[in-house]
């Protein structure tokens, strides 16, 4: 069977775990050459060994702190060109969400989280867009989050970062569309990743419950009565990267099991 991404060259930030890891796996299995970017060198190398054990010379790694912008983005893109070729796909997935009340968060944490996720995503887009527009081909997918539409009191910084990303990526999509480049945001809700576990532990500590009960309550709030895993989100991301979605750009796709109440 033909591999639909056999000519694709992808960068995946946050690629060593969670949603980024799942996206990288799907892309590699469909023939893409993928550069995984993350901070943890050992974790990255383990993931590269796993992927190349199945599909030799398809996965590459670059350890990088995405807080150092725009220099980090420039280094990532330069390394990608040297190893996998000119990128045609980008998944922005680096950065988590600090669990803290707005007035309790120190100023330095607000700055740090904006630097890693908002400016990290923006810097990667700015670094890669000239290459994509030159090729008149490319897709950028940003893992944003439903808190950008439904601000969460426990995630005030993420709510602000995600809302800002929804705005700036819409503007960039308008500019890029004339060159055949698509830009989209994907908004997961609670997903079974390390971040969800951290959120559940924080909520359990605050409420006096155990972690399992907190996660059960999250599951019960979902209209589908379950929580997705990283692969549930990754399958949507990879579909949006494919030619089957080539008329979709400049929008945010909610992949939250219907928990967002907006229309």
pLDDT tens digit string along 1-41?
Answer: 468 899 999 999 999 889 999 999 999 999 999 999 999 99
152 phi/psi in degrees, rounded to 5:
-110, 120
**pLDDT confidence band for 221 (50 / 70 / 90):** confident
Structure tokens at 221: 């709030």
pLDDT for position 2:
61
Report angle CA 181, 184, 188 to the nearest 5 degrees: 155
**pLDDT confidence band for 223 (50 / 70 / 90):** confident
Q: Over pLDDT 70: what percentage of the chain? A: 99
Instruction: Determine the average pLDDT of the residues in 240-247.
Output: 97
pLDDT for position 263:
67
pLDDT for position 1:
45
**pLDDT confidence band for 204 (50 / 70 / 90):** confident
Say which residue, 44 or 210, is predicted with more confidence: 44
Of 252, 154, 256, 255, nearest to 200 by C-alpha is: 154
Mean pLDDT of all residues belonging to the chain = 91
pLDDT in tens, 66-110: 888 999 999 999 999 999 999 999 999 998 788 888 999 999 999
Which distant-in-sequence residues (6+ apart) come within 8 Å of 2 by Cβ?
A: none
pLDDT for position 194:
75
Fold of 9-189+229-254: Rossmann fold (3.40.50)
pLDDT at 203 over 80: no
pLDDT in tens, 170-181: 999 999 999 999
Instruction: Determine the average pLDDT of the residues in 221-234.
Output: 87
Tell me the pTM.
Answer: 0.92
Cis ω before 45 (30° cut-off from 0): no
* Integer Cα distance of 261 and 263 in angstroms: 7
Say which residue, 259 or 245, is predicted with more confidence: 245
Q: Over pLDDT 90: what percentage of the chain? A: 67
Q: How far is CA 18 from CA 3, 24, 95, 207, 234, in A?
A: 24, 10, 11, 27, 9
Domain locations in the chain? 9-189+229-254, 190-227
pLDDT for position 207:
75
């Amino acid at each position: 069977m033909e591999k639909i991404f056999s000519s694709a060259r992808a960068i995946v930030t946050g690629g060593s775990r969670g949603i980024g890891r799942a996206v990288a796996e799907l892309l590699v299995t469909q023939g893409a050459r993928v550069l995984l970017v993350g901070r943890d060198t050992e974790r990255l190398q383990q993931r590269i060994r796993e992927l190349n054990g199945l599909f030799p010379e398809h996965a590459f790694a670059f350890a990088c702190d995405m807080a150092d912008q725009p220099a980090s983005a420039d280094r990532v893109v330069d390394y990608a060109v040297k190893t996998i070729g000119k990128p045609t796909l980008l998944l922005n997935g680096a950065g988590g969400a600090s669990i803290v009340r707005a007035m309790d968060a120190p100023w330095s944490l607000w700055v740090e989280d904006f630097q890693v996720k908002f400016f990290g995503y923006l810097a990667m887009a700015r670094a890669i867009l000239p290459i994509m527009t030159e090729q008149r081909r490319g897709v950028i997918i940003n893992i944003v989050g439903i808190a950008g539409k439904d601000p969460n009191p426990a995630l005030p910084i993420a709510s602000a970062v995600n809302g800002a990303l929804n705005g700036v990526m819409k503007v960039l999509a308008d500019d890029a569309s004339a060159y055949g480049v698509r830009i989209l945001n994907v908004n997961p809700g609670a997903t079974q990743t390390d971040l969800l576990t951290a959120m559940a532990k924080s909520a359990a500590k605050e409420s006096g419950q155990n972690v399992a009960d907190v996660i059960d309550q999250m599951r019960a709030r979902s209209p589908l009565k379950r929580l997705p895993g990283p692969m549930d989100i990754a399958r949507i991301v990879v579909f949006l990267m494919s030619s089957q979605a080539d008329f979709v750009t400049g929008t945010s796709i909610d992949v939250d099991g219907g928990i967002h109440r907006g229309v």
